[in-house]
């Protein structure tokens, strides 16, 4: 294999593996921007993956499956929203429980689904014309699926909404200074609920992508810690969708390289690489003072109630 092919395959696989990371990161960015930390990404993703697979298997429609996966992710996030927004529970505890619940529940429900191949998965497409471009063509426009392109479109849309619309200003205000938003007649809880659900839907979609498009099968715990990388990526992205895209592909490239380099480096070490990188990123940027400078939403993890001053 010449270096050119090697390069093309690496980048093409990066795009494929980066898509679920990107989708879930975009969702978590919105959730955290509104002041809610949801550590349940892993749980929402795996529930989405299971729901998408079982639906696609039963109905034969992968598209219906992936939609159900998104809906289940959204519904699952409601547990966290209710606990942390309405009941004002500790967001870390509630988010962690959501992850545990998701992993456990999908494991129980998924028994018997394991090892079954999905008859129809989301098709890989080749964009006519564009795929003929040398180098770029096979890299970006061959063997991808529509969801990958959809996720890139989503980056643009979500960036625009966050920084250039009334909705975005409201979301950022609620995450920064909920009292200010409240005193201007914005419903803090409504904004937070919506953002948490958006996070859940996108995490569910990411899970669905894994089980009906990326690797059309169901395995217990198939998200393999991806949810935690998403949390790290959200911080890495400075809560900005555009940087989130960069981060997601960077991590995906690392992940892919861990397979590619196996002939030379021990596979265990390589498998640990993306996670080690995630930890390094978190250590580097989560020091208190730095986090403030970086612009973490000031009200992140803080429940809001009017009477407290």
Partner 1 sequence: MRGIVKRFPGVVASDGVNLGVRQGEIHCLLGENGAGKTTLMRILYGLYQPDSGEILLAGKPVKITSPSVALAHRIGMIHQHFRLVSTLSVEENVILGVNEGMGPFLRLGKTRKRIAAITDEYGLSVDPKAKVWQLSVGQQQRVEIIKALYREADILIMDEPTSVLTPQEVDQLFATLRTLVDDGLTIVFITHKLNEVMQVSDRVTVLRQGKLVATLPTSQTDKPSLARLMVGREVVFRLEKNPPQQGEKLLQVSRLHTLNDRGLPALRNVSFEVYGGEILSVAGVSGNGQTELAEVLTGLRKATSGRILLGGKDITNRSAREITDDGVAHVPAERIKMGTVSNMSVRENLILKDYRHPPFSRGIFLNYKKAEANARRAMAEYQIAAPSDSSAAKLLSGGNIQRMVLARELSGKPRLIVAVHPTYGLDVGATEQVRQVLLRQRERGAAILLISEDLEEVMALSDRILVMFSGRVMGILDAEEAEAGEIGLMMAGVQREGVRR
| Residues at the contact surface with partner 1, assessed by CB under 8 A | 161, 164-167, 169-170, 172-173, 176-177, 179-186, 288-289, 292-293, 295, 298, 306-307, 309
Provide the terminal-to-terminal Cα distance of the chain, rounded to the nearest Å: 65
CB-based burial of residue 3 (10 Å sphere; 0-12 exposed, 13-18 middle, 19+ buried)?
Answer: exposed
Q: What's the min distance (Å) between Cβ of 172 and partner 1?
A: 6
List the one residue out of 47, 60, 45 whose CA is nearest residue 116.
60
How many CB atoms are closer than 10 A to CB 249?
Answer: 18
Between 16 and 197, CB nearer to partner 1: 197
Between 111 and 289, CB nearer to partner 1: 289
Between 47 and 154, CB nearer to partner 1: 154
Between 33 and 256, CB nearer to partner 1: 33
Q: What's the min distance (Å) between Cβ of 187 and partner 1?
A: 9
- Reported residue count of the chain is 309
Q: What's the min distance (Å) between Cβ of 300 and partner 1?
A: 12
Between 272 and 298, CB nearer to partner 1: 298
Q: What's the min distance (Å) between Cβ of 168 and partner 1?
A: 8
Between 119 and 295, CB nearer to partner 1: 295
Could you give the C-alpha distances from 223 to 109, 124, 185, 284, in angstroms and in order? 16, 21, 40, 25
The rounded distance, in Å, linking the Cα atoms of 31 and 37 is 7
Q: What's the min distance (Å) between Cβ of 293 and partner 1?
A: 6
What are the two backbone dihedrals, phi and then psi, of residue 119, each rounded to the nearest 5 degrees?
-65, -45
Q: What's the min distance (Å) between Cβ of 297 and partner 1?
A: 8
List the one residue out of 72, 18, 5 whose CA is nearest residue 43.
72
The rounded distance, in Å, linking the Cα atoms of 102 and 223 is 11
């Amino acid at each position: 294999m010449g270096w050119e092919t090697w390069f093309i395959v690496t980048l093409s696989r990066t795009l494929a593996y980066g898509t679920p990371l990107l989708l879930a990161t975009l969702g978590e960015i919105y959730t955290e921007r509104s002041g809610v930390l949801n550590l349940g990404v892993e749980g929402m993703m795996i529930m989405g993956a299971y729901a998408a697979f079982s639906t696609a298997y039963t109905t034969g429609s992968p598209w219906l499956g992936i939609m159900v996966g998104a809906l289940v992710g959204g519904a699952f996030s409601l547990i966290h929203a209710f606990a942390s927004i309405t009941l004002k529970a500790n967001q870390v505890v509630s988010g962690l429980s959501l992850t545990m619940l998701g992993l456990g529940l999908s494991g129980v429900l998924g028994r018997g689904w394991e090892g079954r191949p999905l008859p129809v998965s989301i098709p890989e497409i080749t964009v006519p014309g564009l795929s003929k471009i040398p180098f770029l063509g096979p890299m970006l426009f061959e063997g991808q699926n529509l969801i990958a392109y959809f996720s890139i479109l989503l980056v643009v849309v979500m960036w625009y909404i966050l920084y250039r619309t009334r909705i975005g200003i409201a979301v950022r205000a609620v995450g920064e200074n909920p009292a200010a938003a409240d005193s201007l007649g914005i419903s803090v809880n409504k904004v937070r609920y919506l953002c948490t659900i958006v996070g859940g839907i996108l995490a569910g979609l990411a899970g669905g992508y894994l089980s009906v498009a990326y690797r059309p099968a169901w395995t217990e715990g198939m998200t393999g810690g991806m949810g935690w990388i998403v949390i790290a990526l959200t911080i890495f992205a400075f809560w900005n969708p555009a940087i989130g895209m960069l981060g997601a592909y960077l991590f995906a490239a690392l992940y892919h390289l861990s397979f590619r380099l196996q002939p030379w480096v021990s596979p265990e070490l390589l498998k640990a690489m993306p996670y080690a990188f995630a930890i390094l990123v978190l250590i580097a940027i989560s020091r208190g003072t730095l986090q403030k400078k970086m612009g973490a939403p000031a009200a992140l993890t803080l429940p809001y109630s009017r009477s407290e001053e």
